[in-house]
A and B are shown apart, each in its own frame.
Chain A
Amino acid sequence: MAMPLETPISFTNVGRIRWWQRGIFASQTGYVLLALAVLLVVMHFASPYFFTEGNIQNVAKNFSFIAIATLGVTFVIITGGIDLSVGSMMCFSAMITSMVMTELSAPGSPAGSLFVHMAADGKTVLANVPGLILLVSLLAGLGVALLAGLVNGFCIAVLGLSPFVTTLGMLSIVRGLGYVVSNGRGSFPGGPDADYFYALTSGDVLGVPVPFIYLMVLALTMAVVLHHSAFGRHVFALGGNEKAAELTGIPVVRVKIEVYVICALAAGLQGIIISGWLGSAPANMATSYELNVIAAAVIGGANLAGGIGGPLGAIVGCVLLEVIRNGLVLAQVSSYWQQTLVGVIIILAVLVDRIRSRMT
Chain B
Amino acid sequence: MTNTEATPVLELTGIGKEFGAIRALHDVDLQVLPGEVVGLMGDNGAGKSTLVKIIAGNFRPSHGEIRFAGSAVHFSRPVDARGVGIEVVYQDLALADNLTAAANVFLGRELKRRFGPLALLDHKAMAARALELFGELRSETRPDDLVKQMSGGQRQAVAIARTRLSNARLVMMDEPTAAISVRQVEQVLGLIHRLKEQGVAVMLISHRMPDVFAVCDRVIVMRRGEKRADKPIHQTSPEEVTALITGAKEAA
Binding site for B on A (CB under 8 A): 1-3, 5, 8-14, 16-17, 224, 227-230, 233-234, 236-237, 239-241, 243-245, 247-250, 307-308
Contact = CB atoms under 8 A, between A and B. Distances in A.
A307 B104 CA distance: 13
25 contacts: A2-B136, A3-B197, A5-B135, A10-B140, A11-B140, A14-B140, A14-B141, A14-B142, A16-B142, A17-B149, A224-B120, A229-B119, A229-B121, A236-B98, A237-B96, A240-B97, A240-B98, A241-B95, A241-B96, A243-B92, A247-B94, A249-B78, A249-B79, A250-B108, A307-B96
Interface centre among B78, B90, B120, B167 (most CB of A within 10 A): B120
A8 B96 contact: no
Given A234-B108, A236-B98, 7 more contacts: A2-B136, A14-B154, A229-B118, A237-B99, A240-B97, A241-B94, A249-B78
B50 interface: no
Contacts of B167: 1
B206 interface: no
Contact of B110 (A8, A11, A233, A241): A233
B180 to A, nearest CB: 15
B139 interface: yes
Given A245-B107, A248-B107, A8 B120 contact: no
Contacts of A8: 135
Interface string B131-158: 0101110111110010001000010000
B90 A247 contact: yes
Nearest to B112: A230
B236 interface: no
Contacts of A11: 140, 142
Contacts of B108: 234, 245, 248-250
Contacts of B162: 248
B136 A308 contact: no
B230 to A, nearest CB: 29
Interface of B: 78-79, 82, 88, 90, 92-99, 103-104, 107-110, 112, 118-121, 123, 132, 134-136, 138-142, 145, 149, 154, 162, 167, 197-198
Nearest to B97: A240
Given A236-B96, A307-B97, A9 B198 contact: no
B162 to A, nearest CB: 8
A318 to B, nearest CB: 23
B82 to A, nearest CB: 7
A14 B96 CA distance: 20
Contact of B103 (A9, A14, A233, A247): A233
A227 B123 CA distance: 10
Nearest to B140: A14
A237 B146 CA distance: 12
A35 to B, nearest CB: 23
A239 B110 CA distance: 18
Contacts of A10: 140
Contact of B138 (A9, A241, A250): A9
Contacts of B139: 9
Nearest to A239: B98
Given A1-B198, A240-B98, A247-B78, A230 B140 contact: no
Contacts of B88: 247
A230 B107 CA distance: 9
Contacts of A228: 120-121, 123
Contacts of A245: 96, 107-108
Given A1-B198, A241-B96, A12 B110 contact: no
A12 B140 contact: yes
Contact of B99 (A13, A230, A233): A233
The 7 A-B pairs at the shortest CB distance, nearest first, are namely A240-B96, A307-B98, A248-B108, A244-B94, A240-B98, A249-B108, A248-B107
A307 B97 CA distance: 9
